[in-house]
Structure 1
């Protein structure tokens, strides 16, 4: 088991640069998740760590070794892809032990490692089955088991749950979290799903356009984002952003009907800012400033989609027995201590 360290890592395809000088440390035994929108470079960065993409410049270290120019097989990593890539004519046991057999390990050792991986992943009863007789979640567990048998220093996951249905995704999230707890290995996981990131990660790495926007623990990023992009990406539903202007020591927020006082130290008068409010920090009140366009009832919680007279859209989380209905006209209140301010131009946080 080893950590991973990236130093000024760059990736170019010809004249096009897609990874821009990444510096990152994933500590030994840590579960790090790369998140970001499509095209942000998260899978490319993972493949560079695996050795499947050449590093244009910079260094990649695994443990004490510089592996920047080493072949994938020499890096001590195992990768799980979103496609299971199982051999259909082989049994579960044969699939899980294939890599060990190809590298000349004794049959007894292969069997022992396969049985141990099957025990960890609760696949013991399926070792004689072929992939066609397994569910999607079971097939993905076999793919993970094939990685475990190799005894890698670092596990790499490239959107391993994206081909599963919603129920299986939840089940496999739990399985992967339990696996990390059981074996304590260093894991790096790529996903576009911030819910997966929040529930699995010790450390989240938020990427945009080949640059790291922020690194931190899930709740740290949720509660204290550095910029508007991170604030909007982490959290579901996303944070509401309302246009505002600094005026006379307060904010003028058209969507909220005018003057709003907030506890932050405000910049100079006339400066355009964005007021960030998470749905759970808002509450519907009596009034006529907003129209309820849509509601989503999810049982214990509902989301009301409001439209202000200024045209801006706001999502409010509701709990309890009394909730807004489509077509209602309502007012809005919020906890100013939970508000966040962002510069309208740079999108940086104003603290």
Structure 2
């Protein structure tokens, strides 16, 4: 078993607390992604699991063992960093086997383990090369291979794709997903990129300011967010948020020409303010005289995004087909299915259900 459990995990730097009593269970073989904005504590939490940051309070267990005070080398983890950290004077084969060599493992075992990792990562033809002769993606694969040969219980990835260009990032996402499928190990992955989180994760942990906002599968978080923060962070482009007011058991939205949205959720009292959330793909535009205008149109080939300006000052993004041409500056009417609308408390920003 190689699951990871955190119980009331706390991290302080002096008087400053950055991780606030985190409770989390990561199952054996699960691919768990920590996601959130810069400074939310995701890398700190990962480093606490690795033993690179001391846990101030609480407990961390790996494979049922309490490793809260254990040295990093005794935790059964291997970490892949944002920087490749390869030895430039060593070949790919030597880089991948160096950790085992330092631990006194015999040459035959090292060669066997490096060969297996090379097969998994398709590095056979590069084993005799040095890092300077490799692309960024190939170097990152070598860094992952170095982790594989150690045979860890848990793989830890700290924003491993941040230094790669857009095309390589897509390729490496596929490589990491395939790696997890092949070896079935527990993996914990840190990123600020919610697209990486959505495409890789079995479980996503959304963090903000050292607190867990919500935990769930990618589609659970996308379809059923607990609050405005999660709703806005998961999904690209982000969910649209507009001010609304309760009137007669419905929600009136001034930004959309005072359209009234019927709903069965438990709304606050008459006249109370709420926040209305609608995803770009759930909206449609029709060219018509009205208070909403097309500000910018962004074409991406098969789809386009219309950035709309309302008289209330709120901006709305609408996903449209790439060949649907509504000129910039045109007045439009925005339509949607009321069932697609989400509602959030204006003060707490928690989801109204």
Q: In which range does the TM-score fall when normalised by the shorter chain?
A: over 0.9
The match for 1:319 among 301, 318, 321 is 321
Q: Show structure 1 runs of 5+ residues with no match.
A: none
Match of 1:56 in 2: 56
Aligned partners of 1:349 and 1:341: how far apart in 2?
A: 6
- CA RMSD across the alignment: 0.9
Q: How many residues align?
A: 351
Flag as ranges the 4+ runs of structure 1 deviating above 6 A: none
Q: Equivalents in 1 of 2:131, 2:259: separation in Å?
A: 63
Aligned to 1:228: 228
1:301 is the counterpart of 2:307 = no
Aligned residues of 1:250 and 1:259 also touching (Cα < 8 A): no
Q: Which moved more, 1:40-49 or 1:288-297?
A: 288-297
- Distance in structure 2 (CA, Å) of the matches to 1:96 and 1:211: 36
Does the 8 Å contact 2:76/2:152 carry over to 1? yes
Three-state SS of the structure 2 residue aligned to 1:108 is helix
SS state of the match for residue 116, structure 2?
Answer: helix
Counterpart of 1:242 in structure 2 is 242
What is the deviation of 1:320? 5.7
**In 1: Cα distance, 2:286 partner to 2:205 partner:** 37
**Cα deviations across residues 252-296 of structure 1 (Å, max 9, x unaligned)?**
211011141232332211211100000000000132221111111
User: Of the candidates 324, 337, 342, which is equivalent to residue 339 of structure 2?
Assistant: 337
**Matches of 2:312 and 2:211, distance apart in 1:** 35
- Taking the aligned partners of 1:88 and 1:255, their CA distance within structure 2 comes to 58
Q: Any conservation in 1 of the 2:250–2:263 contact (CA below 8 Å)?
A: no
Q: For residues 259 and 316 of structure 1, what CA distance do their matches in structure 2 show?
A: 17
CA apart distance, 1:86? 0.1
The corresponding residue for 2:268 is 267
SS in 2 for 1:350: coil
**Residues 201 and 222 (structure 1), Cα distance of their counterparts in 2 relative to 1, 3 Å cut:** same
Q: How does 1:94-133 map to 2 (within 5 A)?
A: 94-133=94-133
SS in 2 for 1:151: coil
Q: How far 1:190 moved relative to its partner?
A: 0.1
CA–CA distance in structure 1, aligned partners of residues 311 and 264 of structure 2 = 26
Contact kept? 1:290, 1:329, Cα under 8 Å: yes
TM-score after normalising by structure 2:
0.98
Greater displacement, 213-222 / 244-253 = 244-253
Q: Which moved more, 1:178-187 or 1:239-248?
A: 239-248
- Residue 312 of structure 1, CA deviation: 1.1
Aligned-partner SS, 2:262: coil
Q: Secondary structure at the match of 1:87?
A: coil
Q: Distance in 2 between matches of 1:252 and 1:263?
A: 11
